[in-house]
Amino acid sequence: MDKPSLPSGTRDFSPAVVARRRFITGAIESVYRLHGFYPLETPAMENLSVLLGKYGDEGDRLVFRILNSGDFMQSVPDAAKAEGSTRSIAPHIAEKGLRYDLTVPFARFVVMNRHALQFPFRRYQIQPVWRADRPQKGRYREFWQCDADIIGTDSLMAEADLMSVFHAGFTALGLGDYVIRIGNRKILEGLAAQSGRPELFRPMVTALDKWDKIGIDGVKTQLSAAGFTEAEAEAIASACERRTLDAAAIDNLAARFADNATALEGVDELRSLLSFGTEARMEYDGTLARGLDYYTGCIFEVEIPNSGIGSVASGGRYANLTGVFGVPGLSGVGISFGLDRLYDVLDARNGFPADTGTATQVLFCPMDIAAQPLAFRLAAALRRNGTAAEVYPDNAKLKKQLEHAGNRGIPFTVIIGSQEIETGEFTFRHMLNGSQEKVTEQELYSRFRS
Amino acid sequence: MDKPSLPSGTRDFSPAVVARRRFITGAIESVYRLHGFYPLETPAMENLSVLLGKYGDEGDRLVFRILNSGDFMQSVPDAAKAEGSTRSIAPHIAEKGLRYDLTVPFARFVVMNRHALQFPFRRYQIQPVWRADRPQKGRYREFWQCDADIIGTDSLMAEADLMSVFHAGFTALGLGDYVIRIGNRKILEGLAAQSGRPELFRPMVTALDKWDKIGIDGVKTQLSAAGFTEAEAEAIASACERRTLDAAAIDNLAARFADNATALEGVDELRSLLSFGTEARMEYDGTLARGLDYYTGCIFEVEIPNSGIGSVASGGRYANLTGVFGVPGLSGVGISFGLDRLYDVLDARNGFPADTGTATQVLFCPMDIAAQPLAFRLAAALRRNGTAAEVYPDNAKLKKQLEHAGNRGIPFTVIIGSQEIETGEFTFRHMLNGSQEKVTEQELYSRFRS
């Protein structure tokens, strides 16, 4: 028999890891709730008609498809069968796929339920997504997103709210040194237009996107190669350089775009965002263009300095997310924390609290079968007081039972043998230092009552 | 553009439903933790080599298969392509499937990690599973199981522990009238053997399984039709009839099996189970045979009387679960609560607490744009005290803002206009009765501090 294994890019989460992951999701979830976001859950499977065409060609290729049930080859037309290629067969044998992100399912939910929802509608969603990407360090085929979106308002206060969520979330996680990089799609468009080269918008974005890797000089070279003059390349690079996002930075940007209404609209959005007085640590970063295909205004990426890990959260404004499902006019803004990368950052920093797991506090060790029912009853009584307790279920040597407690990090054991039953006093052992004392039933309860 | 839809048998869970589902999973999870179970999570996708052959032919058919990524037809041999049937193609284009239950992934996990685990190992797992069953009322293609298993012990104390879990779990859910039906595979085997008809074991089990539908007389007729004499049928039916599980019932059963060691072993297991003195409400039900293919000892099913819904939880002992993966000798016992059925039972009884949702407590209503930053700052301050607060983000008429609060069930609003900014006193409105009063910033905070 073959040894069983896991599909590549997927993971089991052992109890210790689950506890740490829940520390993260718990912190994010409580921040979301404090900001008025309500939980939504959608199915793992979506119709391919919902998923495809939303993530670009590359995204479509990465969607996991689910084989139709039953005699699926029956619905393949003869011509397609005769061709026998993936391209000819695939459309006929799979109608469903696994969720690729949480944004498109959210848009689908909003469209399907728009008459019942109260707008602006705020929802959060913490669920796994699946992508048939090549697995590598830090990149999995099943990974978790923690999204929050506000849909049905144009107000920049929604962006400011989400900056406040970032601040509270990263602070709760002990990652108060986070930095939110903020860009704006309208400023990018204005930049290309201002150079008189709106047609060079995409090559410009491609060049800017490489800033972190090739630096400002590399970007300028690429911009020139794309067709911008040296002066234009200089102007673009200098407008996109990272800087603290404050009133001075905004005035400086505004001055650069005297003639461009689109860019000025983008600058005004940043000014509005600042006007609410959020405490978040924000920098302007003109190079940000992620999710270009649906973000229309502000774009966010959060990084933890010196973590060696890319962005741990991101988001942006999409003026027309539900338009792809035939319902225009709903503007929204959303963010997503990446659970797996946050885990890696906290793990590298020893940033998890020591007691993430609610572990068993007491292991009862019956020294013979006759002592088992009493141990069982005492454990039940402790649980009623809220203390996690177990009884070692087998009739094993005391040494083995104590080792079991020690290996599992259970802090206390209660030893019960015939002598203990007779006297009504049990041996209470502190596993950390091995010290023992005698306690009555009532004394045992009172130790765990506080 | 087509209206988007959900795959059949799947559901979105709106915020109100998520809150109620979490009431259920939260209760079960805290009972599991009190009993020393630790959380495990496994991936949605498993290799088909892990899943297939574990659930019978029918189960294999119901596993959702995931199409291999990339050019999947390339790996189909020419002969299979030429045949072009589902049977010839399927094995070559899908290597992964969606989790069908939580037990087989658990067995896989134990086998893969057996050298690192401390036995007896207790884990719980609350995750969705997927089955390509025909959807109908109460039966979904994506549904949730809440499992707990103890593996690595033969002790009947493990069964008793799980009865204690059932008791605490159903009590916490307000379903204290639950009844655990308990059967035992060994007693069933002994019954067939005692009649001198071990070869009639499966037809006997099939007949007994219909008891709830056709009654004792129907079962006897079926047993006779299967080849048992009338007297044998009578003896089998009378041994399997439901009764309170107490010492008298066990003595009565023991007396019936004077000659059959296997059956007596089963009766002894029931006696052991009782000896620990669990408070659980248990009945003996000799007709239970669910999951016959891997349960080897006690078998459990829990029902809520008069709910009109079948079993809401189940479980049993499996002496050799990991044997299918080549690791024999690990005996375990497990249970599973069915989240979706529990939801239906509680829903029909109005059994959910009124306040399952942590909803927004305060909506700030700025009467003009100038009031927005102040509202934003006050909301942030309330959140720091742990109160969920929002600001209406758009510059809308007060009436519209108050309606939004009313429709969402937000209990309090704080109205801020130019007058309020000037005087430093805000209008605090109780949405339930519409009464209003003036409060200062400090008074506002102190209202939500307790």
Quickly tell me which residue has 């860019």 as its tokens: A263
Contact check, Cβ <8 Å, A390/B19: no
Please answer yes or no on whether B388 and A67 come within 8 Å at the CB atom.
no
* Cβ contact B421:B374 at 8 Å: yes
Number of Cβ atoms within 10 Å of the Cβ of B138: 13
Tens-digit pLDDT profile for residues B389-403:
999 999 999 999 999
Select from B40, B86, B168 the Cβ nearest to the Cβ of A13: B40
Mean pLDDT of chain A: 94
Q: What angle do CA A424, A428, A434 make, to 5 degrees?
A: 150
Chain A residues with CB inside 8 Å of B11's CB?
43
- Put simply, the answer to whether B73 touches A65 (Cβ < 8 Å) is no
Closest CA of chain A from B414, distance in Å = 15
Radius of gyration of chain A (CA): 29
* Closest CA relative to residue B396, chosen from B433, B371, B426, B359: B371
Backbone phi, psi, residue B167, to 5°: -60, -50
Around B239, how many Cα atoms within 13 Å sit in the side-chain half-sphere? 26
3-state secondary structure chain A: CCCCCCCCCCCCECHHHHHHHHHHHHHHHHHHHHCCCEECECCCEEEHHHHCCCCHHHHHHHCCEEECCCCHHHHCCHHHHHHCCHHHHHHHHEEEEECCCCHHHHHHHHHHCCCCCCCCEEEEEEEEEECCCCCECCECCEEEEEEEEEECCCCHHHHHHHHHHHHHHHHHCCCCCCEEEEEEHHHHHHHHHHCCCHHHHHHHHHHHHCHHHHHHHHHHHHHHHHCCCHHHHHHHHHHHCCEECCHHHHHHHHHHCCCCHHHHHHHHHHHHHHHCCCCCCEEECCCCCCCCCCCCCEEEEEECCCCCCCCCEEEEEECCHHHHHCCCCCCEEEEEEEHHHHHHHHHHCCCCCCCCCCCCCEEEEECCHHHHHHHHHHHHHHHHCCCCEEECCCCCCHHHHHHHHHHHCCCEEEEECHHHHHHCEEEEEECCCCCEEEEEHHHHHHHCCC
| C-alpha separations of A377 from A283, A373, B148 in Å | 60, 6, 21
Question: Which residues 388-407 of chain B have a CB within 8 Å of chain A?
Answer: 388-395, 404, 407
Do A142 and B44 contact (CB within 8 A), yes or no?
yes
> Which residues in chain B are contacts of A49 at CB distance < 8 A?
2, 4
> How close is the nearest chain A Cα to the Cα of B429, in Å?
18
Per the structure block, which two tokens stand in for B104?
């087989």
Q: Looking at CA atoms only, how far is residue B357 from chain A in angstroms?
A: 9
Which of A6, A164, A390 is opposite residue B35, by nearest beta carbon? A390
Contact (CB<8Å) B72/A86: yes
Distance in Å, alpha carbon of A238 to nearest chain B alpha carbon: 31
Q: Which residues of B touch A73 (CB under 8 A)?
A: 84-86, 89
Q: Which residues, numbered 155 to 174 in chain A, qualify as contacts with chain B under a Cβ-Cβ cut-off of 8 Å?
A: 155, 157-158, 160-161, 164, 168
Mean pLDDT for A3-13 is 96
Chain A CB contacts of B96 below 8 Å: 7
- Cross-strand partners of A97: A46, A65
| Residue A345 pLDDT greater than 60, yes or no | yes
Which site among B69, B76, B87 would you substitute to test the A interface, given the most A Cβ atoms closer than 10 Å to its Cβ? Answer: B69
How much is the average pLDDT of B25-31?
97
Predicted pLDDT at A358: 61
User: Using 50, 70 and 90 to split pLDDT, how confident is the model at A258?
Assistant: confident
The residue type at A295 = Y
Best CA proximity match to B379, nearest among A170, A279, A153, A317: A279
With a cut of 70, say whether residue A144 has pLDDT above it: yes
Contacts of B114 (CB under 8 A, 6+ apart): B322, B327, B330
What tens digit of pLDDT does each residue of B148-198 get? Answer: 999 999 999 999 999 999 999 999 999 999 999 999 999 999 998 888 888
Query: Per the CB < 8 Å rule, is A49 touching B118?
Result: no
Q: How far apart are alpha carbons B364 and B377 in whole angstroms?
A: 10
Angle in degrees, 0-180, between the axes of helices A230-240 and A201-209, rounded to the nearest 10? 60
DSSP state of B242: -
Mutation test of the interface with chain A: which of B276, B361, B385, B403, choosing the one with the most A Cβ atoms within 10 A? Answer: B276
- B448–chain A Cβ distance below 8 A for any pair: no
Substitution target in A14, A31, A271 with the highest count of B β-carbons within 10 Å is: A14
How far, in Å, are A245, A427, A445, B32 from residue A181 at the CA level? Answer: 9, 59, 53, 43
pLDDT band with cut points at 50, 70 and 90 for residue A138: confident
Check if A8 contacts B (Cβ < 8 Å).
no
Beta-carbon separation of B157 and A391 below 8 A: yes
Of A335, A317, A299, nearest to A126 (Cα)?
A335
Using CB atoms and an 8 Å cut-off, which of residues 238-297 of chain B contact chain A? 275-279
A355 pLDDT band (50/70/90 cuts)? confident
Cα A91 from Cα A76, distance rounded (Å): 9
* pLDDT at residue B219, rounded to an integer: 95
Chain B residues within 8 A of A109 when measuring between CB atoms: 12
Given an 8 Å threshold on Cβ–Cβ distance, is B73 in contact with A89? yes
pLDDT at A194: 86
Q: Which residues contact A244 (CB under 8 A, 6 or more apart)?
A: A282, A283, A284
If residue B301 lies in a helix (H) or strand (E), which one and from where to where?
strand B298-303
**How close, in Å, is residue B296 to chain A by CA atoms?**
19
The rounded percent of chain B whose pLDDT value lies above 70 is: 98
The closest alpha carbon to B298, from B99, B106, B150, belongs to: B150
**Average pLDDT over every residue of A155-178:** 97
CATH code 3.30.930.10 region(s) in chain A? 15-45+100-348
pLDDT of residue B291: 57
Q: Is residue B147 within 8 Å of residue B103, measured between CB atoms? A: yes
Exposed / middle / buried, residue A74 (Cβ in 10 Å: 0-12, 13-18, 19+)? exposed
CA dist B143 and B246 (Å) reads: 35
In the numeric block, the tokens 């200062």 are attached to B440
Give A59: exposed, middle or buried? Use CB within 10 Å, 0-12, 13-18, 19+: middle
Contact A278 B325 (CB under 8 A): no
Say yes or no for a CB contact (<8 Å) between B118 and A407: yes
Residues of A with Cβ-Cβ distance to B36 under 8 angstroms: 360, 388-390
**Nearest CA among B428, B356, B396, B372 for reference residue A120:** B396
Please give the share of chain A, as a percent, with pLDDT higher than 70: 98
User: Shortest CB distance from B157 goes to which of A69, A326, A372?
Assistant: A372
Which pLDDT score is estimated for B138?
82
In words, the CATH class of domain A362-449 is alpha beta
Cα–Cα distance for residue pair B403/B427, rounded to 1 Å: 16
CA distance A307 to A330: 37
Give B-chain residues touching A79 at CB under 8 angstroms: none
The C-alpha R_g of chain B, in whole angstroms, comes to 29
Residues of A in contact with B4 (CB under 8 A): 47, 49-50, 108, 111-112, 325
User: Interior CA angle at B91 toward B88 and B92, to 5°?
Assistant: 90
Q: Which residue of B has its CA nearest to A410?
A: B36
pLDDT, tens digit, 9 for 90 and up, residues B254-293: 999 877 999 999 999 999 999 999 899 999 999 998 655 6
Q: Where are the beta strands (DSSP E) in B152-228?
A: 179-184
pLDDT recorded at residue B6? 97
Count other Cβ atoms within 10 Å, centred on residue B214. Answer: 13
DSSP state of B69: S
What is the average per-residue pLDDT within A79-108?
Answer: 95
Nearest to A45 among B72, B142, B408 (CB): B142
Using the Cβ of A445 and the Cβ atoms of chain B, whether some distance falls under 8 Å is answered with no
pLDDT of A229 strictly over 80? yes
Question: A40 and B357: CB-CB below 8 Å?
Answer: no
| Nearest-angstrom CA–CA distance, A341 and A303 | 10
Nearest by CB: B158 against A36, A81, A393: A393
What gap in Å lies between CA A326 and CA B109, rounded to an integer?
Answer: 45
Residues B89-112 have a mean pLDDT of 96
Partners of residue A90 in chain B, C-beta under 8 Å: 67, 72
Classify B436 as helix, strand or coil.
strand
B residues 322-381 lying closer than 8 A (beta carbon) to A: 324-326, 357-360, 372-373, 376-377, 380
- Give the integer Cα–Cα distance in Å for A278 and B381: 11
Q: What confidence category does residue A196 fall into, taking pLDDT thresholds of 50, 70 and 90?
A: confident
Q: How far apart are CA A226 and CA A213, in angstroms?
A: 18
> Does A67 contact B72 at a Cβ distance shorter than 8 Å?
no
CB atoms within 10 A of CB B411: 14
Interface A:B, Cβ pairs < 8 A? 288
Q: How many CB atoms lie within 10 A of CB A450?
A: 5
**pLDDT tier at A294 (50, 70, 90 boundaries)?**
confident
The reply to whether residue A66 touches residue B69, judged by beta carbons under 8 angstroms, is no
- Indicate if the pLDDT at residue A391 is higher than 80: yes
Label the pairing between strands B298-303 and B313-318: antiparallel
Provide the chain B residues 314-333 that lie in CB contact (below 8 A) with chain A: 324-326
Nearest residue of B to residue A104, measured between CA atoms: B4
pLDDT above 60 (res B142):
yes
- Among candidates A72, A84, A154 on the partner chain, residue whose Cβ is nearest the Cβ of B81: A84
- The reply to whether residue B141 touches residue A393, judged by beta carbons under 8 angstroms, is no
CA-wise closest residue to B378 among B411, B416, B404: B416
Q: How far is A327 from chain B (nearest CA, A)?
A: 10
Q: Maximum distance among all alpha carbons in chain B?
A: 95
Is the pLDDT score of B385 beyond 80?
yes
Residue B36 carries which DSSP code?
Answer: T
Question: What digits encode the pLDDT tens for the residues B414-440?
Answer: 999 999 999 999 999 999 999 999 999
Distance CA B282, CA B245 (A): 6
The CATH topology of domain A15-45+100-348 is: BirA Bifunctional Protein; domain 2 (3.30.930)
The boundaries of every CATH 3.40.50.800 domain in chain A are 362-449
Lowest mean pLDDT among A289-303, B80-94, B96-110: A289-303
Report the first-to-last Cα separation within chain A, whole angstroms. 52
AA letter at A439: V
Query: pTM of the prediction?
Result: 0.94
Question: CA of A445: how far to CAs of A439, A450, B164, B172, B416, in Å?
Answer: 10, 10, 19, 21, 53
Q: Is the peptide bond before B366 cis (omega within 30 degrees of 0)?
A: no
Q: How far is CA B63 from CA A74, B134, B322, in A?
A: 19, 12, 20
Average the pLDDT over A404-425 and give the result: 94
Best A140, A150, A157 member to test B by mutation, with max B CBs in 10 Å, is: A157
pLDDT band at A116 (very low <50, low <70, confident <90, very high): very high
> Which residues of A fall within a CB distance of 8 Å from B166?
none
Q: What value does the mean pLDDT take over residues B6-33? A: 96
- The residue type of B134 is R
